[in-house]
Each structure stands twice: as C-alpha cells, then as structure tokens.
Structure 1
Amino acid sequence: MVVWNVELTSRKAQYHWTYMFAPPRFAAFITWMQGWITVFAWQATATSVVYLTATQIQGLIILNHASYVPQRWHGTLLMWAVVAVLFSVNVWAVRLLPLLEMVGGACHVVFFIILLVTLVTLAPHSSAESVFTDFVNGGGWSSDGVSWCIGLLMVVYCFVGFDGTLHLAEEIKDSARTVPRVIILTIVINGILAFAFLIALLFCIGDISEVLSTATGYPIIAIFEVATGSKAAATAMECGLIIIAFASGFALLASVSRLTFAFARDGGMPFSAFFAFVDPHYHVPTRSISLVSIVIVLLSLINIGSSIALNAILSLSTLALYISYLIPITLLVLKRLRREKVTFGPFSLGRFGLWINLYALVFGIFIVIFLPFPVATPVNATTMNYAGPVFLGLVLLALVDWVVRGRHYYAGPTREENVGLEQTNDEPDVAMRDEHTKQG
C-alpha cells in the first residue's frame, strides 16, 4: 500500500494520479470525487490528531489532580490551544518548521529508547506464553477472526497518511528522488520502532481490564504509572509522547493546507479563488491554513455536546483515506493490465510493479470492508461506527456540488506551476499531464 506511492510525486498525490490514470471521458468527474474524499479525509485526520493531543493533556490533568472533574468543553478549549500553536508556527514561524521537524524526529527516537528501557526495566512482566498465545476478544464478537480484523482499525490508523509528504512535493528540492526515500524510510523506521514498543507494552501491560478502564482515558498513561509507581514519572513519559504529537501536528497542518490549496487552485472547492492564495510576505497559503484551522475549531465544538458525534466525524479519516488510495490503485492496475504506457519518476517497481499494485488493491479492499464495522457488540449509540454513514454523506455532498458547480467548468487538475511557493523539479508529473492531454 505504501510502496506504490513512491513511483509518482505531486503535491496533489492521489488526487492528481486519479486524473492521469482515469479514462479521459470520465477523468474530471472521478477526480472531482477523489478531491473531495481526499481533502475531507485529511481534514478529519488533522482534527483527530489535534483531539488526541489535547485529550492526552487533559488525561495528565486527571492523573495529577484528583479533585479535577473533567468536562468535554475543557477538551475543546485544549483543542483550540493546540490549533493556535500549530497555526502560529505554520504561518509566522514557517522557517522554523524544518528545525522543529528535525527536533521532533530526534525526540521520536530518543523517547522511544527512554520509554522502552523504562518499561522493560521497571514494569512487572507477563509471561511470553500469555503475550504470544492469549487472545482477548474484548468486542463481544462471536468470531475471534472477525474481532481480529476489526481490531486492525487502530493499527491502520497509526500507519495512515503516508501520502502526507507528497502534498509538500513542490516545496521539496529534487522531490522526485527525495520524497520516495522519505516515505520508505518513514514506514520502515517507524514500523520497526512500533513493533518493538508494542511487544514491550504487551509484556508490561498487566491487568488489561484495569488499564482500559483508567480515568485518564488513555491506557498508555496507566501503563506508565503502573510501571514506574510514580505519577510524576508517568507524566514525564507521557509528555514525551505529547511533544511528538505536536511535531506531527506541525507537519500535518502544513500538508493538509497544501492539499486544500491545490484543490482550490483547480476550482474544486467552493470559493476556490479566495482559498487559492499564497501570502506574498510569508510565502505560504495562509487562507488554506486558516481554513483547515477554522474547520478544526468548529468541529471541536461538537465535542461539547457529544463526544460520540465528534467521533463519528473523526472516524471518517481512515476509511476515506483508504478509499482515496484505492481509486488510483485500481486505475493504475487497469492501465498496467492493458499494457498502456505509464510515466513514472526515478523510482520504479519494475516488473514487480503490477504484483505490488494488485496486493495493495486486495489489502485496501480488505481494510475498507472492516473499517465501517462497529468495534463492539451489541451495537448502540456508543459502540456504533459512524464511518460508513458519514462517508456516504460526504459522497452525496460531493455529487450535489458536482451537479451544481463542477460539471459546468471543472476540467481536472491544472498543470503544476509556480504559484508563489518554492518551485521544485517535478518532471514526471508534467510528462504524465502531457500524456493524458494527448489521450483526451
């Protein structure tokens, strides 16, 4: 699912590729739907990261102040504070973004070592037999296999968004070569670190039911406290994760705003001319950054009335992103099966490309089937997974906008031009655009 992304580079990523691979007759419509799905999926993802960062902070307050009575509006205010920090850096301190990302990456590795050593050294250990052979079906499903498949939801969420770097491609020097390396190294390094940390957690988790019922809302905080026997130590360890979450948030807001800018530049969004704007002083798409930030703030208000309603929107992120990946993969597989010419960048999968694409397609379909399933039974307002209904609502909204606006003037992605952001070498995309124009 990840590797096929690196054959192509463009700020618009799967949105751009869909146009290049789709039959010319239907390219504009399919790309329009793809653009809506991708933009809203990334908006939901950005909101979910802000929500998780803010509520982790709230969880530490719960841990350290027994008299504190958590309220949902407290979490909303914390979300606003997180958004304010992310917005400020992306607009007024954007030159610091590479440094902050470098520091965040260093903290990612350093905190991994610190947390891993602390857990392995101090926490009571479960037996290897219980770690590798015990199966806990906490969802109430009659089939352990179904329960396992549904449990992939959180695993998939952790690795979703690997196309984020692609949305910044036009601002990266020699993006056609740099971006593939970044994507592959990110997945390989994080996959290894995550697996090692997961095994350590399983050995140190202790009583699962007790950990899951923690008042903080985050089992990881309870695990840290049990391991160290100290609230202060648990707080320090959790702060390391929050720092990494902020570093992720900086890059995420930058990526989502560039995707929003690109879709607006192509006329895909309402008020596109307004949002397709690059500030001449800061050289960043300030209006797109503002739009993404404002939407997060507005969505956070839902949390005041109902956390279930907010989770219904946040659940859109993983499902919609995987569907956005499946659209161009399907079109690419069809082109390869028909032996039609496809222009790639410097990185190519060669003769293994079709098989890797087919595997990604099958895996993506498998994931999309189970993502809308409720996490637990019996299904009620709390356990219901609203990803499916919310996604269908998004598709309906996109269809209505296509009938009202899109079909009259939308022609697909524009050719990548210098629009105020730093222009980089992106020849593969230009070649693909020319090829598609000839076919049309």
Structure 2
Amino acid sequence: MAAPSTSPSDQTGDSGKLAIDGVKGGFPLETVSTTGMGEQHAITELDDRRFNLWVMLGVQYTTSAAPLSICGFMQFTLGIGGSPFFFWCFLAAVFCQGLLVLSFAELGSSFPHAAGQTYWTSVLAPPKWKKFLTYLNGIMTIWGWIFSLTGGYLLSSQFVVAGGVIINPSYVPKNWHVFLLAVGMSLISVAINTVLIGIYPLVSKFYLFWINGSVLYIIIVVLAKAHPKSSGTTVFIDIVNHTGWDSTGLVFLLGMLPGAAAVSLPDSVTHMAEELPDPQRRIPQVMIGSYLLSYLAGLVIVVVMMFCIVQPENLLEPLGGQPILQICWDAWNNKGWVITVDIIFIATFAQAANNIVTATSRIIWSFAKSGGFPFVGWVAHVDTKSRLPFNAIVLCATVCVLFDLLEFAPSYVLNAVYGSAVICFLFSYGIPIVLLLMQQRQCLPKARYFSLGKFGFVINIFAVCWMLLATVVFCIPSSYPVTNDNMNWASVVGMAAVALSLLNWLVVRKTYKIPEPLYFEHLQTSNVHV
C-alpha cells in the first residue's frame, strides 16, 4: 500500500514533525517522525492482529511477574534491613517505578513504535545529535534486555534445581546442571515464539489467571499453616542489618533492589506496537494495568510472607538456595506442598523468559532494520508465512545462552551482568525523558490518548532523578568490608557494554539510519501533515 499523500498547506509549524491524522476507535491517531525522513513510512511487516489488549496485559504482567519474582529476589537481600526494609523498600521502589511507567505510558501513547524508546529518541533529539543518540539508545536497550534474559533463564533453572533438592536431599547441584537447564529454557522460548506462536496468545492470557491464582493459593496455605506468626513489630519496625554498612539510609536504598527488579521492563508492550491494534491506546492501558496488578499482588504477598516467617534462622541456608521455598517448608513441612510451590515458580519464570524473548527479538529486529548491526539482512529478515522475525528470535536466545556460560565463573561475575542491566536501562529509559524535558514537553501531540497534563513535567523530572539514584545505588556493594567476592562489578560490565557499543558505532555510523515512523496498513488515514 502506498503512503498517503501530503499537502503543503497542512504545515504544523513544528520543524521535523510528521503527523498522520486518522480515526481509530474514535481517537485521532498522531505519529511523529524526524527531520530528514521526508514522507517515508514503514509499512507493518509483522502480523498487526497477533495480539490484543488482554494478551498484551498477560505478556507485560508475566514479563516481570512481580508478586512471585519479589519472592525469588529474597535471596539477595536477607540481611539488608530484614522484614521492615523488605516491606518499606518495596513500597518506595514501586512508587518510583510508577513515575517511569507513567512517563513511558505517555510517550508510548504519543509515538507508538516497535523500536519504543529508540524511536522516541529519534523524534525528540536535536538534529545534530539525533542519529548518534538514537543509535546509542537502541543498542543500550538491547544490552539491558539481553542481560535481563540471561538472568531469566538462570533464575527458572535454579528453581528446577531447588526442586531436585526437595525431592532428593542427597542431591548436590552442579553449575553444569543449571547451565544445561538454561539451554533447555532457551529452546522452549524459541519454540513458543516460533513454531508454537499460534498458542502464544492463549498462553499469555492464561498466565494472568495463573499468577494471581497461584499467589492466592500460596498466601491462603501459608496463612493457615504458619505458626507462630511474626509480630507487627518484627515485620514493620525491627531492622536487621548484616551488611556491615553503618548508614541506615544506605541500607534502605540497597534494599530497594528487589522491588525495582520486580516491577521492571515497563517498555515490553511498546516493542509489540506492530502486532497490536490501536497501539496508541493499548500501550498506556497495558503499562498502567500491569503496574497496578504488580503493585497490589506484590504488596499482598510481601506482607503475608513477612508475617509467616516461622524460623528466620533457617533462611541463612534456605532449602534449595531459595528463601521462599524455606518459608513455605517451615510453614507446612509437606513435600508435596513445597514441590507444588516450586513448580509454580518454575512455570512462571519460564514463561517470563519466553515473553522477554518476544520483546527482545522485536528490539533487535527493529534495530537491525535501521542498520545497527554489520549483518543487517540476516537479522532483519521476516518470515513471509508466519510474519515473525525468526532470525532475531534465535539470535537473542543464543546470545543469552552464551552469557549463561558465566554460571561457571565466580558468582560476582554473573551478579555484575545482572546489575549492569540497570546501567544500560539508564541510557535506554533516561535519554528520551531527558530530551522531552529539554523541549519542555512541547513536542507531544495535543490529541494523545494518555496525557499527564500539568503533572507531566514534575513526574518526568522525578523519574529521571529516580533512574540516576538507582544507577548509583545498585552499583554499590551490598556488604562491607568490600572483597573480591562481594564487590559489585556492575559498573565495569556496564561501561564495557558502552565501549563495545561505541566500537560498533564506528562500523555502522555511515549506514545507520533513524527508524521510520510506522504506517499501519489497517488504519484508515485521511491526510499527512509535514
């Protein structure tokens, strides 16, 4: 389909702004491009009817799986403030993440695109820095998602190993066991995203009920079986600090990591813009809906679990290395019950990895189309029958499995990879919001579906402040004195990712081009303003 014709008389007065005015569901659609792109529009290459609101809500919600992943992250913060900080830090972290979600919901509603924040950067950046900042945002987005998927494969694998310990206490897990399980998880994620894509929407909707039903099941059993329960003072007031750091404030900030990690990756829905009808509406609806579900369900399970810690001393060496399984075992010493809980976590984290592959492959595919890699043609290929970026799916899973080889390295190496995702996402998430503030938010379409209105400026500023704070805090070692084993090397890995990205820029700088605005073939457009 040819792009709509343009009319010189329809000047908007904003240099570099391109708006496609149409009507979809009673809402005037506006999409923005950048100077120098002329009238070129990217026709949707993927299946633009693959997902709907409920499917994407399931994808977004399961990607972070907040009410269950917050329990999985207990192993990283047992001595960082104890129950009080686990609760209060969760509230603080989720509130701060909410500022980012609101900022992204507005940008996603204004500029829906599979490239997400990379495209937003191309729209908002000044002409002199547009190309470089767009490239930097795109590749740092890829790094962040790759590091997240690396951890996703291993986290689900670790719960499988924990199940083996529950069934057979004499079983001694080995690193190669975890790695081979991670390879298996990657094969499952590739299969569900390619040959089994037909059932993917049904599975995604199912997980909306699976996660919430599982949370309800776990808290009912734990509440019924755990005796004696902790007191309110123990849960909300009595701080436990085994970090070695003297500053209570610093310990509180360190304790925000689980909450921030549990309500993370808010941009996943934006990268499915080409496969989602009415993306300017659905993106903010999915983002905010998933955030609210994550907050409410996460808050409930955090409170219940903190009250139901029967034997806190057992958490120093938890069952299968997973504190949540130890809490469940201490509440009810029943092997069938604890194995059931373990299966819930395995299934949820495995599906979360599947969903991360979905989003990551779209980011890689979109970036490749812009010439961000030397081998553009192969990565950007779309299978004509399934309308899937098959090569990008295989590539992202393969790269993450290679990173999972770090399971054989000292633990601080792999922890550095996880932590470096925060640094990568600072670039990815922060750049478009900073550019938006530099333009005093004047570049946003006035008729956008979701608007922060008069609160937008304040919300955007505090979102940037939160990302800067998180980047600094999450690079600080969690215990003192600092040794090679507990040193936080996240900043080193993050800077290595930046260095590799700059080297790649030297290779692709002449061929890289900023993403083209999407023209959705199924939309009935009336005219285009240049």
TM-score normalised by L of structure 2: 0.77
Residue in structure 2 matched with residue 52 of structure 1 by the alignment: 155
Cα deviation code 1:203-227 (max 9, x no counterpart): 1123434213225111011111111
The one-letter code sitting in structure 2 at the alignment partner of 1:154 is P
Query: Cα deviation per residue 1:181-203 (whole Å; 9 max; x = unaligned)?
Result: 11101000110110010001111
Structure 1 residues 28-427: aligned runs within 5 Å: 28-124=131-227, 125-336=229-440, 340-343=442-445, 345-406=448-509, 408-416=510-518
Q: Partners in 1 of 2:399 and 2:501 — Cα distance? A: 17
Q: Which amino acid aligns with 2:314?
A: E
1:414 is displaced (CA, Å) by 2.7
Distance 1:21 1:280 in 2: 33
Deviations 1:59-95 (A, max 9, x none): 1111221221110000000101111111111010112
C-alpha contact (below 8 Å) 2:361/2:396 kept by paired residues = yes
**For residues 224 and 29 of structure 1, what CA distance do their matches in structure 2 show?**
50
Q: Give the unaligned 5+ runs of structure 2.
A: 1-99
More helix by share: 1
> Partners of 1:169 and 1:281 in 2: how far apart?
20
Residues 309, 253 of structure 1: alpha-carbon distance in 2 compared, 3 angstrom cutoff = same
Kept after mapping to 2: 8 A contact 1:60/1:235:
yes
CA distance in 2, matches of 1:208, 1:86: 36
More strand by share: 2
Q: Which residue identity does 2:325 align to in structure 1?
A: I
Contact 1:104–1:243 (Cα < 8 Å) also in 2:
no
Structure 2 equivalent of residue 6 of structure 1:
105
Contact 1:160 1:321 in 2 (8 A): no
In the TM superposition, residue 273 of structure 1 has moved relative to its aligned partner by 1.8
Contact 1:205 1:211 in 2 (8 A): no
Q: Is the 8 A contact 2:147 2:417 kept in 1?
A: yes
Q: Which runs of 5+ in 1 are unaligned?
A: 436-440
Contact 1:261 1:275 in 2 (8 A): yes
Contact 1:160-1:318 at 8 Å conserved across structures? no
Is the contact made by 2:124 and 2:443 (CA closer than 8 Å) also made in structure 1?
Answer: no
- Tell me the number of residue pairs that the alignment of Structure 1 and Structure 2 aligns: 424
AA of the residue aligned to 1:409: T
Displacement of 1:137 in angstroms is 1.4
Deviation of 1:302 after TM superposition, in Å, equals: 2.1
CA distance in 2, matches of 1:370, 1:426: 48
Q: CA 1:270–1:351 in structure 2 vs 1: closer, same or farther (change >3 Å)?
A: same
AA matched with 2:488: N
In 2, Cα distance between equivalents of 1:370 and 1:309 = 18
How far does residue 281 in structure 1 lie from its aligned partner after superposition?
Answer: 2.2
Whether contact under 8 Å (1:174, 1:424) holds in the other structure is no
What is the RMSD of the two structures over their aligned residues, measured on CA atoms?
1.9
Q: How big is each residue's C-alpha offset from its partner over 1:138-168, in whole Å with a ceiling of 9 and x where there is no partner?
A: 3221111101101112221111101111111
For the 8 Å contact 1:76–1:301, the answer to whether it is kept is yes
- Cα distance in 2 for partners of 1:294, 1:117 equals 40
Structure 2 distance, partners of 1:149, 1:253, is: 30
Q: Tell me which amino acid in the other structure corresponds to 2:460.
A: N
TM-score, normalising length: structure 1: 0.92
Contact 1:46 1:252 in 2 (8 A): yes
Q: Structure 2: which amino acid aligns with 1:4? A: S
Equivalent pair of 1:50/1:79 in contact (CA under 8 Å): yes
- Once the two structures are TM-superposed, the CA of residue 319 in structure 1 deviates from its matched residue by 3.0
CA deviations 1:308-335 (Å, max 9, x no partner) are 3222222222332233211111111111
- Quote the Cα distance in structure 2 between the aligned partners of 1:405 and 1:242: 40
Confirm or deny: 8 A CA contact 2:412 2:489 kept in the other structure: no
Task: Report the CA distance shift for 1:50/1:163 in structure 2 as closer, same or farther (over 3 A).
Answer: same
Distance 2:210 2:452 in 1: 33
The answer for the alignment partner of 2:123 in structure 1 is: 20
Identity %: 27
Contact 2:421 2:494 in 1 (8 A): no
Distance 1:354 1:159, change over 3 A: same
Amino acid at match of 1:27: K
Given the superposition, is the C-alpha separation of residues 184 and 426 from structure 1 closer, same or farther in structure 2, using an over 3 Å criterion?
A: farther
Contact 2:310 2:331 in 1 (8 A): no
Amino acid at match of 1:153: L
In terms of mean alpha carbon deviation, does 280-289 or 245-254 score higher?
A: 245-254
**1:126 partner amino acid:** S
Q: CA separation in 2, counterparts of 1:426 and 1:335?
A: 31
Q: What amino acid is the match of 2:457?
A: L
